[in-house]
A and B are shown apart, each in its own frame.
Chain A
Amino acid sequence: MKELEVILDKNGLIVAFLFVGLLTWATDVFSKKALNGRIPGSALAIGLALVLGYFGGLFGEGEQGLADLSYFKGLSTLGGSMFRDFAIVATATGASFVLIRKSGMLGLVSLALGIGLFFAFGVAIGWLMGYRDAVSLCTIGAGACTYIVGPITGGALGASSEIIALSIGTGVVKAIAVTMLTPVLAKWIGLNSPAAAMAYGGIMGTTSGVAAGLAATDPSLVPYGAVTATFYTGLGCLICPSLFYLILSTILG
């Protein structure tokens, strides 16, 4: 047994392949046999992975969910931003450049709308919870955009580490909420075309949430959602600590 433990520990990424493969296989079977395919297997696998991530955090006491447990540490490599972005780019082979260009304007509008909406709502909730200073409110609003915009904005404005942690938490909750709600609400909002996916990606913004949500809804829409969502974090990092902070500190006097 000792030998196996050493092997598992040394080959984390390979263990992650096996783990994700088994999880996908089990959820595919469950989706087909027990649910008649009403919920896609990949949606179940993503949901189950989030639950496992919760328990991983509970027992591992780290910041990377299930990957905090030493046998599963390869999951943070496989699911890290390098492989994630690389695979998202690869999905572009299934996209049409003509369609992306045609909906470019819609994508731009939705980006501006999305960042403004999440920031304003985040600030409003921060205000209701008793925060009154522009730096804290701005950091919380930025966290409501994505869990990367939050800490970058907080860092730029000199927010306290407690507020920065709060903004990261807010962003992660958002990513999870988008992941879980997208397959449920996709039909209701009319998320069924490349143009719709581009608008959706621009408004939701959180690349992890958009990527996972679309994967669970309709994988062929992933490249269209990703192509706009990828600009969201960058634009958020640009606007939140500058323009939005100025507006906010002017309003608050």
Chain B
Amino acid sequence: MIKGLALLAACFLLGMWCGAILGTWLGIDANVGGVGFAMVFLLLSKEYVTNKGWWNGEFGFGLEFWNKLYIPIVIAMSASLNVKSAVSSGVLALLAGTLPVLLAFGVVKILLKQVNPEK
């Protein structure tokens, strides 16, 4: 179990590091795609570990646990968002926060139609 968790931690830290380096390199004070890099590292190491036959049991459980914990974390995140100030921060915030989202759903629909014309 702990081996999987350690592997996840290693990929996470390595990915975040890459994101931070990319951020510095681009001259901005933000992490650029750290999570994305970490996911790629994890996918590559999963391949390696599976080929070695260590995935089931040894590594799998530690990763599966955090994979499953994801939704509870999102629920906790939703409960700790500053909903009140968002709702009361005025008409501008409400409009600029919702109208583009509606439009964006339309854009996603059109974009997906372009990509999958058969559907």
Q: Which residues of A contact B (CB under 8 A)?
A: 16-17, 19-21, 23-24, 42, 45-47, 49-54, 56-58, 63-67, 72, 75-76, 78-80, 83-95, 97, 100, 106, 109-110, 113-114, 117-118, 121-122, 125-126, 129, 140, 143-144, 148, 152, 165-166, 169-179, 181, 185, 188-191, 193, 195-196, 199-200, 203-204, 207-208, 211-212, 215, 219, 222-223, 226-228, 230-231, 233-235, 237-238
Contacts and interface: CB of A to CB of B under 8 A. Distances in A.
A80 B73 CA distance: 8
B39 A50 contact: no
Nearest to A123: B96
Interface residues of B, number: 77
Query: Closest 3 interchain pairs by CB?
Result: A173-B97, A57-B84, A169-B89
A85 B19 CA distance: 13
B36 A231 contact: yes
A89 B11 contact: yes
B111 A166 contact: no
A29 to B, nearest CB: 15
Nearest to A58: B84
A191 B115 CA distance: 13
A230 B28 contact: no
A235 B29 CA distance: 11
Contact of B104 (A176, A204, A227): A204
Given A85-B12, A93-B67, A203-B111, A49 B79 contact: yes
A105 B96 CA distance: 28
B108 A200 contact: yes
Nearest to B84: A57
B71 A215 contact: yes
B81 to A, nearest CB: 5
A59 B29 CA distance: 34
Given A95-B39, A203-B107, A50 B64 contact: no
Nearest to A148: B30
Contact of B92 (A54, A56, A129): A129
Given A85-B35, A117-B104, A199-B115, A53 B72 contact: no
A26 to B, nearest CB: 12
Nearest to A131: B92
Given A57-B84, A215-B70, A97 B97 contact: no
Contacts of B46: 92-93
Given A24-B75, A176-B86, A199-B111, 20 more contacts: A57-B83, A57-B85, A64-B81, A83-B73, A87-B70, A89-B8, A92-B40, A114-B104, A118-B100, A152-B30, A169-B89, A170-B93, A170-B96, A174-B100, A175-B81, A191-B112, A203-B104, A226-B39, A231-B32, A238-B32
Contacts of A222: 70
29 contacts: A24-B71, A49-B79, A56-B80, A79-B75, A79-B76, A80-B77, A85-B12, A86-B9, A87-B69, A89-B11, A89-B35, A100-B40, A110-B108, A113-B107, A121-B96, A165-B89, A169-B89, A174-B101, A177-B101, A181-B105, A195-B115, A203-B111, A208-B81, A215-B70, A215-B74, A223-B39, A231-B32, A237-B28, A237-B30
B71 A42 contact: yes
Contact of A230 (B33, B74, B75): B33
